[in-house]
Amino acid sequence: MLYGIHVSNGTINAVTDKLLPELQAWRERQLDAVYPIVWLDAIHYKIKENGRFITKAVYTILGLNVEGKKELLGLYLSESEGAHHWLSVLTDLHNRGVQDILIACVDGLKGFPEAIESIYPKTEIQHCIIHQIRHSMKYVASKHQKSVSG
């Protein structure tokens, strides 16, 4: 029961069965040939699996199309974030029609630029300023972090 509403397992299964084909079609849809800017990042979530909490990474790919509109290109689930898995995500984007990315905005994950270059060799890599600041703050003494970041 959630919010005072009881939903049976059968109802949940019926809704899930109806949505899964639509989700699969969205996941496999053809994409544009060129995206001027693509943001690639992984978000880490704690989920309960087999009675214990574990962390999973959801790879998110947001693209700016040539008309200037943002679109979610894909979501991919993995046990953790790594350049090797990013390579499989980029390969999937290529297989779905993306021939070129002008600028890829990424964090500082080791091997990430090389993974992008192997699929999209002409793509410019732009490191996310938030990740750069966060990484730089590791070198500032904790007592000075507030004054440096404020």
Q: Look at the chain and report how many structural domains it folds into.
A: 1
The confidence score (pLDDT) of residue 132 equals 67
Task: State the Cα–Cα distance between residues 12 and 17, nearest whole angstrom.
Answer: 9
Is residue 14 a part of any domain in this protein? no
Is residue 1 a part of any domain in this protein? no
Collapsing DSSP to helix, strand or coil, 82 comes out as coil
Write the CATH number for 65: 3.30.420.10
Is residue 90 a part of any domain in this protein? yes
Distance (Å) of CA 61 to CA 26, 27, 81, 108: 14, 12, 14, 16
Is residue 105 a part of any domain in this protein? yes
Is residue 7 a part of any domain in this protein? no
Strands (E), the chain: 34-49, 52-64, 70-78, 100-106, 124-127
Mean pLDDT of 63-80: 94
Res. 72 pLDDT band, cuts 50 70 90: very high
pLDDT tens readout for residues 32-51 = 999 999 999 999 999 888 88
Among 66-70, 81-85, 131-135, which stretch is predicted with the lowest mean pLDDT? 131-135
Residues 6+ apart with CB under 8 A from 89: 40, 59, 61, 74, 76
Is residue 107 a part of any domain in this protein? yes
Domain that holds residue 59: 32-141
The confidence score (pLDDT) of residue 33 equals 98
Written as six digits, the tokens of 30 are: 């053809």
Is residue 148 a part of any domain in this protein? no
Is residue 55 a part of any domain in this protein? yes
pTM confidence score: 0.78
